[in-house]
Structure 1
Amino acid sequence: MPPEPNTAPLAAAARKRHELTRAKAIQALRELDRTGAPASFEGVARRAGISRSWLYCQPDIRVEIERLRDTTRRSPSPPIPAAERSSDASLHARLEAALERNRQLTEENQRLRRQLAHALGDQRTSTRARS
């Protein structure tokens, strides 16, 4: 009976190559996102030095490329690099501040309207008193 081939080194090399390719693809995606460049399968493959077909076979990487691509397509202005984008927490804080300012302005408007109504009433009363 012939000896069984030792495939462990071959399998280990394939796993290592797969992980290296994934790392290259993820790095290329991060770079595209960081710079605000449009994301596409072609762009990621070119930047990472890997094949597009390999990217299409990786579900998580494929979803991320599609998400970034859709984000940049929806935006009418040039894409904003990741480091310059507002976080959800930042946007929420800005919204809360704007709502508080709006409430303050509404209260001030009401106070000024009451003061104006009193002043006009006083003016009308003093004009009648002179007549």
Structure 2
Amino acid sequence: MHVDNSHHLIAAAQQRHETTRAKATQALRDLDREGGAVTFQIVAQKAEVSRSWLYTQPDICVEIRRLRDLQRGSAGSPLPAPQRATEASLLRRLEVANARARDLTTENQQLRKQLEHALGRARASTAERRPGGAA
């Protein structure tokens, strides 16, 4: 009778799987940190795994697509992760821009009223200088 040593094979396969996942995850982190382009091909090359294996890993596949889409949404070369704006800073910039737009609208309205008054005074003074004093 043979002894069942399959648990050794299972443990080795599990270890190989975890090592491969760690390499792929590290490749993603490095590309994101460095601002490198993120594609399945580039991640596969950097992690020394196959593209087809990457597609079988749902969480890694989602992260590659997320980073790729994030980079496609920005013009020019991708920024490294530490240089990207946070959601909070973007919201703050939006608040500042909205406040500035409100200030400019108020200032524009004040200038229009000043211009109306100035044009009215100029018209009145022109009418007074004409013979007969009528407009």
CA separation in 1, counterparts of 2:67 and 2:20? Answer: 20
Q: How does the TM-score come out when normalised to structure 1?
A: 0.78
CA separation in 2, counterparts of 1:117 and 1:43? Answer: 63
Structure 1 unaligned regions, length at least 5 = none
Aligned residue in 2 for 1:89: 88
2:44 matched to 1:58? Answer: no
Structure 2 unaligned regions, length at least 5 = none
CA separation in 2, counterparts of 1:88 and 1:55? Answer: 29
- Identity over aligned residues, as a percent? 57
Aligned-residue RMSD, C-alpha: 2.5
Aligned residue in 2 for 1:23: 22
CA separation in 1, counterparts of 2:72 and 2:113? Answer: 50
C-alpha change, 1:41 and 1:125, in structure 2 (3 Å) is closer
- How many residues were matched structurally? 130
Aligned residue in 2 for 1:13: 12
CA separation in 1, counterparts of 2:90 and 2:103? Answer: 20
Q: How does the TM-score come out when normalised to structure 2?
A: 0.76
29-38 vs 117-126, which moves further: 117-126
